[in-house]
């Protein structure tokens, strides 16, 4: 197998792997890597690569190094992890993953990274079929840092989805509609400036530094034209846009990605209305699942508790948001027979009491 830098892989070839793979997600796309690199504040350096076997690309790996955070991550902004072509046997997948992790570790050592991290969307096809709830990164010896996310099954009828909402959510949506608020699909490119204006107002209100404008420009100019997101605007009774709801999407699933709203309209229910309409829009587009967002059960942090409270009001069930990290920059594989053999020979006949 051969490692090939992303710059030497045709974007169509890269994206064909992402779109066909059970691991593929929006943040794995070629254009997403192009989007996040120009955001100067993040200081990301491109380390993405592909794995070629017998003249065919069998995996692509979004990967960036941040000198600011001293982290090598897949991806540097947005969850991805290795993306393997479909149809590989278990042994073939393991062989490819061996090459992937060797390259990630070599890249991290070269950059003097202090950590390697990886996160994987809960609504990739592979994640959706993961019945164990165990992060795939455990196979690389990564520490488990997974969280949960609320995911709604869009195969339900609209009436069933409505009944799945909490009473508070239904009441807020009715209130917004009765007062003349509405939701409308908007053109991302035409709404970059209005979006960023409301984004900044939202973040200043919550005491958080706004994201760089280049981030949203990238979504509008690189991702939206390809059909991998959609933007809803919440309109006040006078027709002005007072809130936005941005969803990232693949053909089978969508996720609430970013959103913002005017302070004066916080209690109008417009944000609840936007969540509801985003779910319906994803269903109309053929998506089978909608991720409402990450939750933090048991957290004592005020912001995390607030996010969890909101995200659990739209139905769905918690699914694992797979994450892992390691500070060891040398490859390690739990599925590699040489490691299993070494462990067995060294420890198998030692009395368990010695480990207690």
- Give Cα separations from 268 to 264, 277, 339 (angstroms): 9, 15, 58
Highest-scoring range by mean pLDDT, 79-83, 138-142, 240-244: 240-244
Q: What is the mean pLDDT of the chain?
A: 92
Q: Are 244 and 279 in contact (CB under 8 A)?
A: no
The predicted-structure confidence for 292-348, as pLDDT tens digits, reads as follows 999 887 777 777 777 788 889 999 999 999 999 999 998 888 776 554 444 445 545
The answer, yes or no, to whether residue 186 has pLDDT greater than 90, is yes
Q: Are 34 and 76 in contact (CB under 8 A)?
A: no
Closest by CA position to 18, among listed 81, 100, 64: 81
Note the pLDDT of residue 101: 95
Note the pLDDT of residue 338: 53
Percentage of residues of the chain with pLDDT beyond 90: 81
Residue 354 CB partners (closer than 8 Å, separation 6+): none
The predicted-structure confidence for 154-181, as pLDDT tens digits, reads as follows 999 999 999 999 999 999 999 999 999 9
Distance, CA of 267 to CA of 199 (rounded, Å):
17
Note the pLDDT of residue 349: 53
Distance, CA of 248 to CA of 27 (rounded, Å):
9
The answer, yes or no, to whether residue 350 has pLDDT greater than 60, is no
pTM of the predicted structure, to 2 decimals: 0.91
Note the pLDDT of residue 339: 46
Instruction: Measure the CA dihedral 174/176/179/180, to 10°.
Output: -110
Note the pLDDT of residue 126: 95
Closest by CA position to 144, among listed 354, 325, 346: 325
Closest by CA position to 46, among listed 69, 82, 74: 74
The predicted-structure confidence for 231-273, as pLDDT tens digits, reads as follows 999 999 999 999 999 999 999 999 999 999 999 999 999 999 9
The predicted-structure confidence for 114-135, as pLDDT tens digits, reads as follows 999 999 999 999 999 998 888 9
Mean pLDDT of 93-112: 96
């Amino acid at each position: 197998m051969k490692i090939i830098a992303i710059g030497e892989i045709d974007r169509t070839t890269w994206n064909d792997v992402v779109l066909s793979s059970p691991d593929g997600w929006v943040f794995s796309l070629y254009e997403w890597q192009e989007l996040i690199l120009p955001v100067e504040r993040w200081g990301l350096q491109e380390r993405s690569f592909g794995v070629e076997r017998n003249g065919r690309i069998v995996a692509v790996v979004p990967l960036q190094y941040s000198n600011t955070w001293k982290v090598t991550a897949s991806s540097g902004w947005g969850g991805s992890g290795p993306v393997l072509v479909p149809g590989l046997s278990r042994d073939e997948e393991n062989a490819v993953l061996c090459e992937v992790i060797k390259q990630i570790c070599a890249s991290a050592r070269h950059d003097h990274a202090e950590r390697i991290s990886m996160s994987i969307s809960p609504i990739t096809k592979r994640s959706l079929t993961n019945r164990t709830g165990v992060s795939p990164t455990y196979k690389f010896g990564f520490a488990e840092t997974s969280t949960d996310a609320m995911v709604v099954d869009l195969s339900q009828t609209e009436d069933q989805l409505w009944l799945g909402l909490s009473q508070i959510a239904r009441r807020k949506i009715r209130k917004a509609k009765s007062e003349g608020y509405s939701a409308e699909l908007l053109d991302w490119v035409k709404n970059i400036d209005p979006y960023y204006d409301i984004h900044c107002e939202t973040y200043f209100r919550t005491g958080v530094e706004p994201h760089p404008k280049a981030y949203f420009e990238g979504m509008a100019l690189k991702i939206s034209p390809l059909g991998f997101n959609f933007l809803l605007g919440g309109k006040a009774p006078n027709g002005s846009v007072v809130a936005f709801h941005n969803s990232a999407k693949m053909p089978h699933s969508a996720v609430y990605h970013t959103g913002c709203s005017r302070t004066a309209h916080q209690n109008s229910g417009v944000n609840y209305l936007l969540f509801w309409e985003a779910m319906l829009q994803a269903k109309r587009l053929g998506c089978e699942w909608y991720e409402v967002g990450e939750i933090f059960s048991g957290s004592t942090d005020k912001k995390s508790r607030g996010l969890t409270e909101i995200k659990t009001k739209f139905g769905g069930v918690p699914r694992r948001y797979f994450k892992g990290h390691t500070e060891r920059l040398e490859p390690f594989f739990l599925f590699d027979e040489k490691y299993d053999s070494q462990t067995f020979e060294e420890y198998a006949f030692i009395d368990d009491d010695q480990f207690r």
